[in-house]
Structure 1
Amino acid sequence: RYARPAPRPRGAGAQVWPRPEPQAAAGVVRRVPRVVELDPLPVPPESGTAFAGLRFLIVDDGCGIALELGDLLERHGAQVRTPPDVDGPCDGLVHLAALRPGAASVLPPAFGAIRQALAGGLRWLVLASGAGGTFGHRFDGGVGDPAPGAGLRGLARTIAREHPEVLVRALDVDTKDTPRALAQRIMAELLTADAPVVIGHEGGLRYGLELVPSGPPGGAPLNLARDAVVLLTGGERGMTARLALELARTSGCHIELMGRTPEREIRVDALLEHAASVRYHAGDVRDPRAVRDVVENIYLTHRRLDGMIHGAALAEPRPGGGTTPGSFEDVYLTKVAGACALAQAAGPDLGFFAVLSGADGERGGAGAAAANDACGTLAHVWRRRLRGRVLVAETLLGPDAGAPALLREITHGDEPHVVLTGEVR
Structure 2
Amino acid sequence: MAPAAPEPADAGVGVGIAPKRLVAQESVRTEPVGDPATVLAGTRFLITGGGAIAAYLAELLGEYGASGQLGVLDSQQAGEGFDGVLVLDGLTNLDEPLLPDVFPLLQRALATGPRWLLAAGARDAAGAADGMPGLFRTIAREYPQLTARFVEVDPAAAADVLARQLLNEVLTSSEAPVVYLRGDDRYVADLVPVELGALAAGGAGPAGDGVAEAAAIGLEPDSVIVLIGGARGITPWFARTLASASRCRIELVGRTPLPQGPEDPALAAAGDKQALVAALARQGLRNPAEIDRTAQRILAAREVNATIAELTELGGEVRYHTLDVRDTAATRHLLGRIHAEHGRLDGLVYAAGIIEDKLIAEKDPASFTRVFDTKVDGARGLLTALDELPAKPRFVVFFGSIAAAYGNRGQSDYAAANDALDTIGTRYAARTGVRTVTVHWGPWAPGAGHGGMVTAELSREYARRGIGLIDPEEGALALLRELAWADAAVTSVVYTASGW
Aligned counterpart, 1:282: 322
Aligned counterpart, 1:418: 493
Corresponding residue pairs, total? 386
Q: Secondary structure of 1:102's partner?
A: coil
Aligned counterpart, 1:234: 229
Q: Which runs of 5 or more residues in structure 2 are unaligned? A: 1-15, 206-211, 260-300, 443-469
Aligned counterpart, 2:61: 73
Aligned counterpart, 2:136: 156
Aligned counterpart, 2:146: 166
1:293-336 Cα deviation digits (max 9, x unpaired): 11111112111100000111212225489332122222222222
2:403 aligned to 355, 360, 364, which one?
A: 360
* Structure 2 residue 475 is the aligned partner of structure 1 residue 402: yes
Amino acid at match of 2:326: R
Which stretch of structure 1 is more off in the superposition, 334-343 or 348-357? 334-343
2:392 aligned to 329, 345, 349, which one?
A: 349
Pairs within 5 Å for 1:233-312 = 233-234=228-229, 236-264=231-259, 265=301, 266-267=304-305, 268-312=308-352
Q: Distance in 2 between matches of 1:338 and 1:156?
A: 22
Which stretch of structure 1 is more off in the superposition, 153-162 or 186-195? 186-195
Q: Distance in 2 between matches of 1:197 and 1:75?
A: 27
- Aligned CA distance change for structure 1 residues 210 and 103 (closer, same or farther; 3 Å): farther
Pairs within 5 Å for 1:115-134 = 115-131=107-123
* Structure 2 residue 431 is the aligned partner of structure 1 residue 385: yes
1:39 aligned to 24, 30, 33, which one?
A: 30
- Aligned CA distance change for structure 1 residues 386 and 35 (closer, same or farther; 3 Å): same
Q: Select the structure of larger CA radius of gyration.
A: 2
Amino acid at match of 1:111: F
Q: Distance in 2 between matches of 1:36 and 1:49?
A: 30
- Aligned CA distance change for structure 1 residues 83 and 329 (closer, same or farther; 3 Å): same
* Structure 2 residue 78 is the aligned partner of structure 1 residue 83: no
* Percent of aligned positions that are identical: 35
Q: Secondary structure of 2:428's partner?
A: helix
Alignment RMSD (CA, Å)? 2.3
Amino acid at match of 1:417: S
2:421 aligned to 361, 365, 375, which one?
A: 375
Q: Distance in 2 between matches of 1:76 and 1:209?
A: 31
Which stretch of structure 1 is more off in the superposition, 314-323 or 96-105? 314-323
Aligned counterpart, 1:180: 160
Contact 2:26 2:189 in 1 (8 A): yes
Contact 2:17 2:471 in 1 (8 A): no
Q: Which runs of 5 or more residues in structure 1 are unaligned? A: 1-24, 132-143
1:356-381 Cα deviation digits (max 9, x unpaired): 13323432510111122212222320
Q: Secondary structure of 2:220's partner?
A: coil
Which stretch of structure 1 is more off in the superposition, 265-274 or 320-329? 320-329
Contact 1:40 1:205 in 2 (8 A): no
Amino acid at match of 1:170: F
Contact 1:350 1:387 in 2 (8 A): no
Which TM-score applies when normalising by structure 2? Answer: 0.73
Aligned counterpart, 1:48: 37
- Aligned CA distance change for structure 1 residues 91 and 320 (closer, same or farther; 3 Å): closer
Which TM-score applies when normalising by structure 1? Answer: 0.85
Amino acid at match of 1:71: E
Q: Secondary structure of 2:100's partner?
A: coil
1:382-409 Cα deviation digits (max 9, x unpaired): 1112333101001122422211111111
